[in-house]
Amino acid sequence: MSQKVDAYLFGQILGTLTTVLESLGMRVRMAINLKEEDIAGCKAAAIDPFFGEDSLKVAEICKKLNIPYVTIDCPHDSPLHKMAAVNVVSKECTGQHYKGMSAEEIMKLMQAETDGLTIITQGGGEMLYARKGQEIKRMKPFPVEVKSTLGAGDTFKAGCVYGLIMKMKDEELVRFASACSGIAISRFPLPLNPPKWYEVELLLQSSSEGTENLDYSDVIGRVVSGKIDRPLNTRHPRHPDMIYPINYGYVDGVIAGDGAEQDIYLFDCETPVETYTGKVIAVYHRTNDVEDKWIVVPEKSKYAANPSALSDEEILKRIEFQEKYFAGRLYR
């Protein structure tokens, strides 16, 4: 029986894609032999198209097992494009295969041949993305100071794989991949400094484009009480490798979307506790789940009177251990 992993990578034995996905908390399996049992059980795959029949064989196995895969720079009439969940097409590819054609014309060719998502990147220019029968959508890259573009494409691809694993909507997936790439080009050397989940989320927080405009004014500011059933430095009951770096519990008498008590992260409390009373200062909204997580501080905490003193970065860093396995956004 194959071990559970998140992503199967073909053509990326020791590359940026592997490094970035592992930095985001994903478990990866790198291709050595093209065996179906190595691919089975994965949530998504990444396939380099530059290995001819071997690449096609991996794509056919993925299709057979209903495992979505990301590929890059596959022309519209290629089998890899037709079967892909996501095909990321670079400026270099369009220049080589579609000279004289506009990005919109190329996209229409791509759309006609697949039910998957096609993303056309244009260096620092606007990205185009769409599926068959859809209106072509556009998205600007995140404005960052560019230090090196080395590894930007593989990092974008890694973001797409992560998006498939998290079952993100198309716009959310493109934004996440773009943010991953934005972090990557803002640093050097990338292999020693791959994007971390909280850094990507922080960059996503800098723009509200394409996000839900949710109102938590009835929650933020409330004083709540409850129990801490997973105290600081204890292990997750079902995933013993996960140790809680923060007190985690629930609100008495408030039922969340999953039918259980509303979960909370208790900040500014550096000792294990059993109960709490505190103020809600933020909400982490999971976009691929049925529940939110409330960010709470004790009533006497300095952050209760001045919530903005607890930065988004500090919050995201502290909850990364668990929230990197979900898609979401922080609301203040």
Evaluate if residue 3 carries a pLDDT over 60: no
The reported pLDDT for the residue numbered 304 is 98
Ramachandran area for residue 172 (φ above 0: left; ψ -120 to 50: alpha; else beta)? alpha
Lowest mean pLDDT among 1-15, 105-119, 196-210, 276-290: 1-15
Say which residue, 258 or 303, is predicted with more confidence: 303
User: Can you give the pLDDT at residue 207?
Assistant: 81
What are the tens digits of pLDDT across the range 224-270? 999 999 999 999 998 888 999 999 999 999 999 989 999 999 999 99
SS3 20: helix
What DSSP designation does 202 have?
H
Residues paired with residue 69 on neighbouring β-strands, in sequence order: 45
Task: Give the separation between CA 217 and CA 75, rounded to whole angstroms.
Answer: 48
Is the per-residue pLDDT at 183 higher than 90? yes
Q: Is the pTM of this model over 0.85?
A: yes
Longest dimension (CA), the chain: 67
pLDDT at 14 over 60: no
Q: What pLDDT, on a 0 to 100 scale, did the predictor assign at position 11?
A: 83
Q: What is the pLDDT of residues 111-164, one digit of tens each?
A: 999 999 999 999 889 999 999 999 999 999 999 999 999 899 999 999 999 999
